[in-house]
């Protein structure tokens, strides 16, 4: 399974794209502004979109992508999300006021997009891939995902993406049962903005340190930091580096923490 990071920023700026990941050529996880860097041919090859939640930085490119390639597709684009996320998209975006309701055109029987409700704990199967829906804790209905290859020759190890979340013990309970190849976890705000992070249900480095403490003993894998605000990225990463260095002398030890960048590609 190949993973391409299209966007992983918490906001826009030059060279900053918001959240979107492409698994192989056909499965998009979130649809932030990073989708806009794909070619039309690459967009046409996407058959399924998994959304973590309805916030704009995770769905902004979805209506534009549908408009760009829908007429060239032979099948609808399948959008998988929580019922609350689907309701938000139908009410606020695909509503014929902000954007056409592509779930009903060109006809209700043969639309450009189809919505599929999901729930936490559900396991979804796509071409050569298996994706489990994990819990997230955010200001709107939200989920995380764990994806693995089931294709011949695949390792079967999981790519885990936290989505937007704050403290989330149920997430760690399940992640500790998985064979994790890499974890992508958000840290949207610096410690000086910790109160804002808590109110908006995002992580700051201090809370991230506590969350990583839930990783089961003996489990070690790369931890990639995503969703940093561009104006605070350097501060956030320096604060993470400090707590991680201090943890090297503790019983749990330090973690293999890295900064995720748009354009990176991984083979899982």
- Asked if pLDDT for residue 5 goes beyond 90, the answer is yes
Instruction: Look up the pTM and report it.
Output: 0.96
Q: State how many domains the chain has.
A: 1
Interval 154-193: pLDDT, tens: 678 999 999 999 999 999 999 999 999 999 999 999 999 9
CATH code of the domain in which 8 resides:
3.60.15.10
- Asked if pLDDT for residue 204 goes beyond 70, the answer is yes
Looking at residue 251, its pLDDT comes to 64
- Asked if pLDDT for residue 150 goes beyond 70, the answer is yes
* Average per-residue pLDDT for the chain: 95
SS (H, E, C) the chain: CEEEEEECECCCECCECECEEEECCCEEECCCHHHHHCCHHHHHCCCEEECCCCCHHHHCCHHHHHHHHHHHCCCCEEEEECHHHHHHHHHHCECCCCECCCCCCECCCCECEEEEECCCCCEEEECCEEEEEEECCCCCCCEEEEEEECCCCCCCCEEEECCCCCCCHHHHHHHCCCCEEEEEEECCCCHHHHHHHHHCCCCCHHHHHHHHCCCCCCCCCCEEEECECHHHHHHHHHHHHHHHHHHHHCCCCCCCEEECCCCCEEEC
- Asked if pLDDT for residue 152 goes beyond 80, the answer is no
* Host domain of residue 109: 2-267
Looking at residue 252, its pLDDT comes to 67
């Amino acid at each position: 399974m190949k993973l391409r990071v299209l966007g992983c920023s918490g906001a826009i700026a030059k060279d900053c794209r918001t959240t979107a990941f492409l698994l192989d050529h056909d499965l998009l996880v979130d649809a932030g502004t990073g989708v806009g860097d794909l070619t039309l041919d690459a967009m046409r090859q996407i058959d399924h979109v998994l959304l973590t939640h309805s916030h704009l930085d995770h769905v902004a490119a979805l209506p534009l992508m549908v408009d760009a390639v829908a007429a060239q597709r032979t099948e609808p684009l399948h959008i998988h999300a929580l019922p609350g996320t689907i309701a938000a998209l139908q009410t606020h975006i695909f509503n014929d006021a902000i954007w056409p309701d592509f779930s009903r055109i060109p006809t209700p029987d043969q639309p450009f997009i189809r919505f599929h409700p999901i729930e936490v704990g559900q396991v979804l199967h796509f071409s050569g891939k298996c994706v489990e829906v994990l819990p997230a804790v955010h200001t709107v209905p939200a989920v995380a995902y764990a994806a693995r290859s089931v294709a011949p020759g695949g390792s079967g190890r999981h790519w885990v993406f936290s989505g937007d979340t704050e403290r989330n013990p149920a997430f760690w309970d399940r992640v500790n049962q998985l064979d994790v190849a890499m974890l992508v976890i958000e840290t949207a705000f610096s410690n000086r903005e910790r109160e804002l992070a808590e109110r908006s249900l995002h992580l700051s480095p201090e809370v991230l340190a506590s969350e990583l403490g839930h990783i089961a003993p003996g489990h070690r894998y790369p931890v990639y930091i995503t969703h940093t605000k561009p104006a605070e990225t350097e501060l956030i990463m320096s604060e993470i580096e400090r707590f991680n260095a201090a943890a090297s002398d503790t019983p749990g030890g330090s973690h293999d923490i890295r900064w995720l960048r748009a354009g990176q590609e991984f083979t899982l």
